[in-house]
Structures are given as structure tokens and as C-alpha cells.
Structure 1
Amino acid sequence: MSIRIDECNMDQTFSGGVFTETIDGGRAGAEIELLPSGVGARTPDGEAFVIPYRECQVEVGGFSGRMVFCRNADRSLTIFCESPKFAKALSFASSGMLDDQLTSGLKKQRGESRRGFAIGTFFVIAMLLLVVGGYFGIRAGARSAVLALPVSIDAQIGDAAMGSMDLGGPKLDDEVVVGAMQSIVDRLAPTAAIEGIDFRVHVVESNQINAFALPGGNMVVYTGLIRNAETPEQVAAVLSHEMSHATLRHGVQRIGQSLGIWAGVSLLIGDVSGLMGSAVDLMQVASVNSYSRAHENEADREGVRMLHAAEIDPSGMADFFEQLEEKHGDVPGIFAWVSTHPDHASRIASVRAQVAALPSHEYREIEVDWPAVKRRVDEMDGREIDQQPNADQENAEVE
């Protein structure tokens, strides 16, 4: 439910943002207003929204663990704010109506910080290795130290990030759609560059043409990607690239490079929760935005290798790039997967050159009823889909 707020008086103002499919790109920064009737938001373009306090569903999480998300009843609109004073101000403005939700969310985040201590201890080793290898340079040392860590660390970081991310839409629990995506991933997984990664697929209802993989194997596929792919081989091309980021450990490398040597010092003096918050925050941003140019090119090459080894035609990667560019024009905002992966034209040329250099091979089709999968996605379009709880939510309920 959205209400125009042009005539409303502003009680309190904070910086924040909005998630909703009614605005371009699905999200925007906004000025948050606590009004007598509800939580209001006004974007830089002048679009304004209000969620009445009586309908407001409050969650606490996000990158820092302090982000307050206010959602309307059908979750089509989310207003969020990270200001330290926002939760208290929201409680006051709503006359205590939202106190139970705010208290529950804040308790959950404190519990997650304590659980993060165990993960943080592993970073002591990583950061100490960075110090020892400092004469090689911070970046080179970080890469060496991270690659020396056990792969189980990747899963712990990825699970922590997955548990606190706002995915931008509800998760689907549909055997046809999720099963098809998992079968594609299972076809590719045996060709992975390293062992020990358990790839688990989550399908999210959103018009974004996007997918990403977190360290340790959590994968998110948006229905916009499924709707726009003509064959399962095209989806496999995108997923092989994202799986490569996980198998080549690009996410954990980026954490080591970005946090640097002094993060090890902060761990040694006891600032574990702060460091872990930074690591998870960084991983959330890295997973849905571009990696470095070198990492993107490396993931392209590794993705082609995985496709070829799995007996899937790797030319589908370049074909899909070209198909989407022809269909949507010059990489619009909704085309998230390409818009966050740079040098579109040069990547097509590079992939085609790599495919041409591969030895001849007889490829096998992916045994998925693709028309049935797309029909199933189309049938769900516009229907209310229950939000599936993530792992941390399930654990919180058990506890």
C-alpha cells in the first residue's frame, strides 16, 4: 500500500532507501519521514510512499546488523534506514505499536554477533598470515593467506551473508522451478576447480535478470533470468560464471584484500564482532555487484571450461549476452547480470575466442523441460508467494 505524502508534515527525518518494483531499478535512496500515521519515504525523483504503522512489518539486519526494514503487508514495499537513532524514533512515533518487533529483531542480531565470534577466530589466522607475508605486498599477501584457509571458512562467511541479505523478493519453494535450477548446477558441480563446495540453489521472484553465488555455495537465481533465457544451456552459462567466483574463491580473496593487515590487529585486541560485520557487509556488496576486472575475466574463462567439461555447449554464454543486448538494448538497469559485469562487447569476443580454441566435442543437452519451467514461472507471476525463511530465521525459531 502506498500513499502520497505531499501534504504531510514531517515529524522526523532520516537518510535511508526504498525497495519496490514500482520505481526504476527496484530500489532508490530516500529521505525517511516518521509521520503521525506511518513511516514515509521520498525519493530524489519526488516519488513518495507511506507504510501505516498498523501494517508495518519490522525486521532488523542488513549489512551492519543495525538496518531497520519496514515492509507493508504484501511485502511489495520496503522502507529501510540504518541510522542509530531510527529504531528508538520509530518506537516513539508509533506509540510503542512496533516495540515487540523491534525488540525481537535487535535480540536476534545480538545473538548472531555472538555466533559470529567462532567465524571471526579463523580470521585471526588469515590476518596474521597477511602480516607475515606483508613484504609481498598487501594484495598479494591477502590472496596467499586466504587461499591457505580451509574451504569450510567460505561456507561460514557465505551462510552468514545469506542469512542477513535482503534478496529483493520472495524465495520460491516450487519443485519444478527450483528443481530445474538445482539440476543444472548439479550437472556443473563435478567440474568445479576445488572440492568441498556444496552448491545450493535459491530461486527468488524478481524481474531482475540476475544470479549470484556466495562463498561456500549458496546461489541465488532470479526469475527474471529464467524468463529471458531461451534454453537451459543459457542459464547454465550464467551459473557457471557465478559458480566460478565461488570455486576460485574470489569473494574471500576480496575480503582479505579489502580488510587488509590492520584487520588482524583489530582481531588481536578483541574487536571480533566489528571485523566480522565488515567481512559480511563486504561479501553482500561483492556478491551482487561487480568483482574486479581480473576476477570477472577469470570467472568467464573458468565458466567456459566448466561448461565444456560438463559436455554443455559453452557458446551459450556469448549467445545469451548477444540475445539480451538485442532484446533489451544497451544493457538497461533491469539487466542486472550484465550491467554489473563490465566490458560487455569485449567479453563476448573473449568468450568466443576461448570457445573456438577448445577441442571439438559432442555436447549433450541439459535434460530439463524448459518450456514447462518457464510456464511455471509465468503462472506464478503476479501470484502471492510466501516468503521462505532463510537458515538464520529457522535457527532463531528453533532457539
Structure 2
Amino acid sequence: MKLEHVKSTPSFVILNKYLLWLLVIQMMTALAYYGYVPLIPQMVKEFSLNNTQIGWMTSAVFLGSSIIAIPSGMITDRFGARKSLFAFCLLLVFVIFSFSISNSYFVILVLLFLLGTGYGGITPGTNKSIMENFDVHNRGTAMGLKQMGVSLGSTLGSLLLPLIANQWGWRIGILSIAVLLVLVCLFHFKVLDEREDYHKQTNVLKNIKDITKNKKLMKIIAIITFFIWVQLSVMTYLVLYLHESVHYSLSFSLFCLALLQIGGALGRACWGVISDRFFNRNRGVIIALIGLISGVLVLILGMLSGEIPEVIIAFLSLCLGITTQGWNGMFVLMISEVVKREQIGLASGVGLATVYAGAIFGTPLSGWIIDFSGNFEAMWMICGVAIFIIGGLTICLKLDTNLND
């Protein structure tokens, strides 16, 4: 039985039970995926890590996500979102439990790779669920709200995990995530027992050929590769920059990381609503606008000094979240809208696999720039100029072609 599309007001979309559960899944898996970030300072002390090694931790996560992205898209298209989401959540439980007892940097890298593998199957599943259950008029809003779970999960980790780690150690903080994921797995089928997944047999090779020939999809992927480089660089190095270079307290720097994630949650929700209500669902214009604003804000970040009032730094962190961390909903919606419905899972996988290159190579590159130059400012300048230029170029490209109206 094919699921009926939801065509209604934004308030109904927000209260939709199916969407709320997708939001929970996205939030809890993102908590697992990004949970190591606020714990990096403690790991640096325990394992004596430099900035390049920190960058490779992020690369390991995204390498796993990149490798599994295309197979997970195929799995989602073949078996449906409900079953695939459960399987990948279960894999995350195993990895997080193992992470909590790890005792070497190499083991952590391996587990972070597996963590990325588990999380790599979440986005294709949740994307397909949104595209199959929501009408084009509310799809941007629904996708934005669903993607808001990524930032909410990261924010929850930024606020709570350092407190748990300071009291009982970072391993207990990681273990608490595993417990929450177990609850998600236990309730997954019960919450969705009224729904039936819709899927059918498809020609995988033909779909891959069609996707690689989709010029709009390839343009979107190329643009977002730069966006994710800047996104992960800001997320990974913000705390270290504010604490070590600008000399704010560690607690305030972690608070700014939380504000960054809160801004990301707001951005992912708001950009979708703005696109649906004010830009006639023109997603490309929104991406260009985000790129331009992000470039300016990152350049400002690179010019900070310890004399600037904390309230201004906090506001800047929030704005950086809305922009550098808030574009993901638009991206996953765009790659889902420019392909046929039966190709959504696979297209999401292909898009994510390619885009993750920006995280795999970009974050260590940012770490290398910091180590080579001896300061964070050079890295922020390079990132800011790059994303501003990409945002400007995006204005010239016509990226919107909706095949799923």
C-alpha cells in the first residue's frame, strides 16, 4: 500500500506523528554521530593529539559515511525506510558501546569509521520517508524540521556530554548515548506499526547511470562539497579557537558550540519554511544566500580578539550556526527533488558519498593550515573566502527542477 501524501498547513506538518518520530531518530543518531566533538578536549589530553590528528578523527567518521552512502541508498530503495532505519540504528548501538571501552587513538579512529558507517544509512531513509509522505507544498518545511534533529542532537551533546564527562569521564558520556539509542531501537517498530513501507524492485545499474548523467544533481553535489568543508571546520575547531587562540574560558567556548548547534537547528527549520513560503520553492537561491552570509561571518570569526564582549561572540556563534550549520535540509531536499521518486534513496547515497569528500579531506586540510601557519586566523580566512565565492557562483546556476511534484 502506497503511503498517502500529506498536504496541509505548516502547523499540521509540525504535529504529524510520523514526522515527529523521524525527528527523534535524526536527533538521537546525530547525538551519536557528533557526540565525540564536545569531548575532544578531554581526548586531546588523554591521547596527546595535535590539530591534524583531531582533523583525522572527523575524516574517519565521514569516510565511513561516504563508503556506506550508496549501498545504504540501495538498501533503502529496496527494503523501505522503516526497516533500513532500524538496522542502521542497531549498528550505531554496537559501535557506541565499543567506543566507551576504547583505549587507543587507533581504535578510536576505527570506531569513528564504523560510527560513520552506521549514521550513513540514516539520511537516505529519512529523506525517502519525507518525500513519500509530504506534498510538494510542505516538503521544504517537513525536510527542514526533520533535519533540525541533527542540530538538536549535536546541541544536546554539547550541553550535556561535557558535564557528564567532567563528573564521570568521557567514556560514561559516550555510554549514555548508547542507552538512548537502545530506546530508539526498542520503540521504532511500535511507533511506526500503523505504517507500511512502500518500495519496489528497480534496475540499480540504470538508476546509477541516470543519476550520474543528471547535471543539476552533479552541480548541487559539487557546490555542497565546499559547504560541508566549512561546516565541519567551524564545528571541529570553534572551541579550540575560542579557548586557545582568543583566550575565552573553556566553559564559554563550549557554550558557543552549543549556540552554534542551536543556530543550526533554527537554520534547518527556517530555511525550509522560507523556501516554501517566500521563494516559490527555489532552493538554489537559498543555498546561494547561505553561502554568501556564511563567508562574511567566517571572515569575521577570523578577526576576533579577547577584548570583544562575550555577548557579541555568543551572537556570532548563533548566526554561524544558522548559516554554516543550517543548509543541510535544503541540500537533501534538492537532491531528492531533481531525481525520480524511485531513485531518491540511491540519489541521496550518491550525493552524500561525494559530498563527504569535503569532510574527509577538508577538515584535516584545515588542521594542517592551522599547524603550518601557527594560527587559526589563516584557516578562517581561507574558508570564508572560499564559501563566499561558491555562494556567488551559485546565483548564476539554475539548480531547481522538481520531478516529484
TM-score, normalised relative to structure 1: 0.28
TM-score, normalised relative to structure 2: 0.28
Q: Which has the higher helix share?
A: 2
Q: Which has the higher strand share?
A: 1
Structure with the bigger RCO (C-alpha within 8 Å, sep 6+) is 2
Task: Name which one, 1 or 2, has greater alpha-carbon Rg.
Answer: 1
